[in-house]
Amino acid sequence: MTSLSQHADYATSEAQNREFLVFSLGEEEYAIDILKVQEIRGYENVTRIANAPEFIKGVTNLRGIIVPIVDLRIKFHLDKVEYGGQTVVIVVNVGERVVGIVVDGVSDVMTLTPEQIKPAPEFGVTLSSDFLSGLGSLEDRMLVLVDIDKLLTSEEMALVDRSSK
Amino acid sequence: MDITDFYDTFFEEAEELLADMERHLLEIDLEEPDAEQLNAIFRAAHSIKGGAGTFGFDVLQKTTHLLENLLDHARRGEMPLRRDIVDTFLETKDMLHDQLDAYRNQEEPDQAAFTRICQTLQQLAREEIGQELEAAASAPEDTGNAPTATPPAHTADTTTDSVAVASPTSEQLLAVALLNVGEKDRGLLVEELGQLGTVQAHHGDEECYEVTLLTGVSRDDIEAVMCFIVEPEQLQIRHAENEESVPEASPQAPPQSEKDPASPAKSETATSPAPLTTGGASESGRPKAKKAKAGGESSSIRVSVDKVDQIINLVGELIITQSMLDQTVSELDGVTHGGLLNGMNLLQRNARDLQEAVMSVRMVPMDYVFSRYPRLVRDLAGKLDKEVELVTEGESTELDKSLTERIIDPLTHLVRNSLDHGIEDPDTREAAGKPRIGRLTLSAQHQGGNILIEVIDDGAGLDRDRLLAKAHESGLSVSDSMSDDEVWQLIFAPGFSTAKEVSDVSGRGVGMDVVKRNIQGMGGHVEIMSRRGQGTTTRIVLPLTLAILDGMSIKVGSEVFILPLSTVLESLQPSREDLYAMAGDDVVLKVRDEYLPVVAVHEALDVKGAKTQLKETIAVIVQGEGRRYALLVDDLIGQQQVVVKNLETNYRKVPGVSAATILGDGSVALILDIADLHRLSRAKKEARRPQRASIDYETLLQKEREPS
């Protein structure tokens, strides 16, 4: 009986823990819900789209599907935007859409307990706290938890036609 | 599994039955009605009624019941058929369709409409047969076919198990034999039978399983229900007690193998409930019709469009992978890798064949579109007091399913127009020395990679003078020297209508421009040919499919774009003398006495590193939405078929771009939208203009200040 209740406890705490994919943009560490991530691939062969905002790098062929690629470094006004061997595209599923986001690198997958997730403070202009699901604190690190759904479907990302939203 | 699982099957079958019914009603010859056709109509109504009763669709059942009774009289020759009667039947059929839709959406059908149609049918019965129809029965026990008020004269030659004499309330013991029915379905059928009556016994094996049922439901109704699960051939129903008195059924006593489908027992248990009274024609006709139906079922399957699209996508991927491989392999040495190269050739051929085969799955015959017009033409001609004969040609011409759906609206509009404006009333036609009956032809044919769909009428033709006068009135710029073709194009202008009066058929002038836009939206165009007094032909030219496009790849800077080949007229190297600067930064190019506006792709799409020297560029003359202009590009790469990929699936609409495709090297290329590109280029120039004006203004101000 005890083992059963223990198991149940374990299960509930397990359910509340969330796994995040941690990636870096410049010096900062960000994280998104791992369930949103479809795959991780290199940055290559992107076809530019005319008259699109600068942070939309273009579209690429992901096994026959045309996927837009967004460079979050440009979106977040990072100083150094370079494309090299370490540059990584995280392919995420947002609603029924597939979008690739360019980041400087992917480090690891972290499990955060509810206690480790702190509410996000009011932020500056570049990244509205609307797009954050909180801050993750780990001993000496701080992860910015991005609500990728909200961010990518927001009007300022210009990824979605307003009419089709 | 319960009965609701069969709803969908019923809806689909009922829909097909209704379509059949309409087709037969339209085809029927009023003077000499074909007995087989009347039977077919009757059978359709009866089958729907049976299903509706089982599933408890009361309103539908009652309506079909009334209709069925009338049809029963008609097929026995007790009620003469007239045009207005057929009209009423058609109206009833529409009502049934509405009711069916309502049930499908889990709503109750419109009660007022139901009452109205019942009254109409009752009145028809009173006038034509001189009797009231029995009130529509709600209980399935009552769904016996012939009105009990008039014991039909043919009872003498019917067998004892005939439903016609089976009193609706009396229960009878039936033996239902299931032949070659699997165990799973068998359980289901027994359960199903249990709902229709009391199952007294059931036993047997897979080959022949016999159920004894005490029920008040008629044999045909049982069969109608069962047929949603099994084929009619697999079913035998007879009276349990008096087998000897049923001479037709006893020799067929089970076990009976399926290999003997044309047995008398089968025609005995056919869906038609009443004994054959219309003579030999229907006797021989019925089994034939059934066989044809069975054949049709086995040779086709229903597949959702999503599945087909998925296969098409995958095959598209295969083709791309194959051409990527091809590029890699082509760099290899042919001598050492001969086997590989041969294999690649074979793969290429097979992949292309596969692609073609898969694309053909999406193709449906034009009959799918044309079949809805006989009804429309008939109704409309009646309303307009005109006599029109509809002729369709090339019904078997195939077209992509997605296009057939989108062509219906424009085509309907053209047909309406032809009837309303084109074909004259019979008296006028006679006075003009033409046959009283007008002729409207719908035709479809393939021409190259296109399909031509024509709406041809032998009516009055377009009136050049009236069109011009009307255009003047509407403030369009026209001149009397315009060619006929140009004048005909006027009818596509928004808000343009030559109808003297606005009718509910046409004349509001909102139609033809929409027709044109729709067809252009499908990548096609419309042409009109008209001879005064002889008629008008409207020709729609459409690509066969939207999934694959014949493209011309061009290069600007380091980027590759695709132009739809259908928009490309020619390409040439512009010489400096042929380029003229216009006000602002506009440039026009003179091509054979024609001045065309110039759009540079690198300007419209901000391509860096493109050739800007006009001398180095190539001008591609393109035409889109009736606008012709010269597109400046760096290089032409070549022609190729590309698989069209939607950009909006994951991204959004991009100005100047219609879609994207994947090139042989796996990279994405954008397909340019010629008409939109022109708009984009104009918008960009527009956006630059005020900026410059303000700078000019400032420099002007400075200059003025300087002397002081």
Tokens representing residue B667 in the block: 């990279």
Phi, psi (deg, nearest 5) at residue A48: -65, 145
**C-beta atoms of B670 and A97 within 8 A:** no
**C-beta atoms of B648 and A161 within 8 A:** yes
Q: Whole-angstrom Cα distance, residue B242 to residue B238? A: 9
Mean of pLDDT over chain A: 81
What does the pLDDT read at residue B229? Answer: 63
How far CA A95 is from CA of A103, A131, A149, A153, B524, in Å, comes to: 21, 16, 7, 9, 34
Give the mean model confidence (pLDDT) for residues B260-278: 40
Q: Residue B647: list chain A partners with CB under 8 A.
A: 59, 66
Residue B393 pairs in a beta bridge with B443
Q: How confident is the model at residue B526 (pLDDT cuts 50, 70, 90)?
A: confident
Of 1.10.3720.10, 3.40.462.40, 3.40.50.720, 2.40.50.180, the CATH number of A18-157 is 2.40.50.180
Please report how the helices B58-75 and B83-104 are oriented relative to each other, as an axis angle in degrees rounded to 10.
160
Looking at residue B300, the DSSP 8-state letter turns out to be -
Contacts 24+ apart (CB under 8 A), B558-562: B558/B609, B559/A47, B559/A48, B559/B607, B560/B637, B560/B663, B560/B667, B560/B669, B561/B601, B561/B605, B561/B633, B561/B669, B561/B670, B561/B671, B561/B672, B562/B642, B562/B661, B562/B669, B562/B670, B562/B671, B562/B672
Give the mean model confidence (pLDDT) for residues B400-415: 85
Q: How confident is the model at residue A125 (pLDDT cuts 50, 70, 90)?
A: low
The answer, for A47 touching chain B at a CB cutoff of 8 Å, is yes
What does the pLDDT read at residue B508? Answer: 45
How far is C-alpha A25 from the chain's CA centre? 11
Is the confidence at residue B273, as pLDDT, over 60?
Answer: no
Q: Residue B656: list chain A partners with CB under 8 A.
A: 50-51
Of 3.40.50.150, 3.30.565.10, 3.20.20.150, 1.20.1250.20, the CATH number of B365-543 is 3.30.565.10
The answer, for A4 touching chain B at a CB cutoff of 8 Å, is no
Of the two residues B656 and B324, the one the predictor is more confident about is B656
Chain B interface mutation, best of A46, A49, A160, highest count of B Cβ atoms under 10 Å: A49
The answer, for B671 touching chain A at a CB cutoff of 8 Å, is no
Quote helix, strand, coil % in chain A, to nearest 5: 20, 45, 35
Closest CB to A68: pick one of B651, B653, B666.
Answer: B651
What does the pLDDT read at residue B620? Answer: 92
Tens-digit pLDDT profile for residues B202-219: 777 766 777 777 776 666
The burial class, CB within 10 Å (0-12 / 13-18 / 19+), for B15 is middle
**C-beta atoms of B662 and A64 within 8 A:** yes
Closest-CA residue of A relative to B651 is A159
Q: How many CB pairs under 8 A join A and B?
A: 76
Of the candidates B668, B213, B506, B297, the one whose C-alpha atom is nearest the C-alpha of residue A48 is B668
SS3 B409: helix
Query: Which strand ranges, in their side-by-side order, compose the sheet holding A37-42?
Result: A37-42, A88-94, A97-103, A65-71, A56-62
Give the mean model confidence (pLDDT) for residues A20-32: 89
**C-beta atoms of B646 and A66 within 8 A:** yes
What does the pLDDT read at residue B33? Answer: 77
Of the two residues B212 and B261, the one the predictor is more confident about is B212
Tokens representing residue A94 in the block: 């947002």
Per-window interface: A 96-115 vs B, CB < 8 A:
97-99
Closest CB to B662: pick one of A58, A61, A159.
Answer: A61
Of the listed ranges B159-163, B312-316, B384-388, B415-419, the least confidently predicted one is B159-163
Which residue has tokens 């007094």?
B533
Q: What percent of chain B has pLDDT over 90?
A: 3
Q: Provide the phi-psi class of B216: left if phi over 0, else alpha when psi is between -120 and 50, else beta.
A: alpha
Tokens representing residue B102 in the block: 């309502």
What does the pLDDT read at residue B134? Answer: 54
> Which residues lie below 8 Å from residue B372, measured CB to CB, with a gap of 6+?
B408, B412
Q: Whole-angstrom Cα distance, residue B250 to residue B253? A: 5
What does the pLDDT read at residue A69? Answer: 93
What does the pLDDT read at residue B182? Answer: 67
What does the pLDDT read at residue A22? Answer: 92
Does the B568-683 domain belong in CATH 2.60.40.10? Answer: no
Per-window interface: B 295-354 vs A, CB < 8 A:
313-314, 316-317, 320
Q: Residue B313: list chain A partners with CB under 8 A.
A: 64
**C-beta atoms of B652 and A160 within 8 A:** yes
Q: How confident is the model at residue B670 (pLDDT cuts 50, 70, 90)?
A: very high
What does the pLDDT read at residue A15? Answer: 61
What does the pLDDT read at residue B48? Answer: 83
Of the listed ranges A95-109, B70-84, B278-292, B507-521, the least confidently predicted one is B278-292
Q: Provide the phi-psi class of B29: left if phi over 0, else alpha when psi is between -120 and 50, else beta.
A: beta
Angle (nearest 5°) at CA B462 between B459 and B467: 150
**C-beta atoms of A66 and B651 within 8 A:** yes
**C-beta atoms of B316 and A59 within 8 A:** no
What does the pLDDT read at residue B266? Answer: 40
Q: Taking the domains of chain A in order of start, what are their residue ranges?
A: 18-157
Tens-digit pLDDT profile for residues B561-572: 999 888 888 888
What does the pLDDT read at residue B202? Answer: 73
Tens-digit pLDDT profile for residues B153-201: 443 343 334 333 334 445 677 777 777 666 666 776 777 667 667 777 7
**C-beta atoms of A64 and B654 within 8 A:** no
What does the pLDDT read at residue B233? Answer: 65
CB atoms within 10 A of CB A104: 21
What does the pLDDT read at residue B562? Answer: 92
ipTM over 0.95: no
The answer, for A51 touching chain B at a CB cutoff of 8 Å, is yes
Which of the residue ranges A34-48, A112-126, B440-454 has the most confident prediction, judged by mean pLDDT? Answer: A34-48
Q: Whole-angstrom Cα distance, residue B579 to residue A165? A: 45
Query: Superfamily for B1-148?
Result: HPT domain (1.20.120.160)
Of the two residues B534 and B288, the one the predictor is more confident about is B534
Contact B522, B567 (CB under 8 A): no
What does the pLDDT read at residue A21? Answer: 93
Q: Whole-angstrom Cα distance, residue B609 to residue B223? A: 76
Of the listed ranges A97-106, B294-303, B325-334, the least confidently predicted one is B294-303
CB atoms within 10 A of CB B226: 24
What does the pLDDT read at residue B31? Answer: 77
Is the confidence at residue A100, as pLDDT, over 90?
Answer: yes
Minimum distance, in Å, between the CA of residue B605 and any CA atom of chain A = 5
Q: Whole-angstrom Cα distance, residue A111 to residue A95? A: 23
Q: How confident is the model at residue A17 (pLDDT cuts 50, 70, 90)?
A: confident
Angle (nearest 5°) at CA B87 between B83 and B92: 150
The alpha carbons of chain A give a radius of gyration, in whole angstroms, of 17
Closest CB to B650: pick one of A52, A58, A67.
Answer: A67
Please name the fold of domain B159-274+284-300.
Alpha-Beta Plaits (3.30.70)
The alpha carbons of chain B give a radius of gyration, in whole angstroms, of 34
> Which residues lie below 8 Å from residue B332, measured CB to CB, with a gap of 6+?
B340, B341
Q: Whole-angstrom Cα distance, residue B596 to residue B588? A: 5
Contact B654, B647 (CB under 8 A): yes
Of the listed ranges B159-168, B295-304, B331-340, B678-687, the least confidently predicted one is B159-168
Q: Whole-angstrom Cα distance, residue B548 to residue B316? A: 9
Give the mean model confidence (pLDDT) for residues B335-363: 86
Minimum distance, in Å, between the CA of residue A93 and any CA atom of chain B = 10
Is the confidence at residue B278, as pLDDT, over 90?
Answer: no
Query: DSSP E strands: which ranges in B92-157?
Result: none
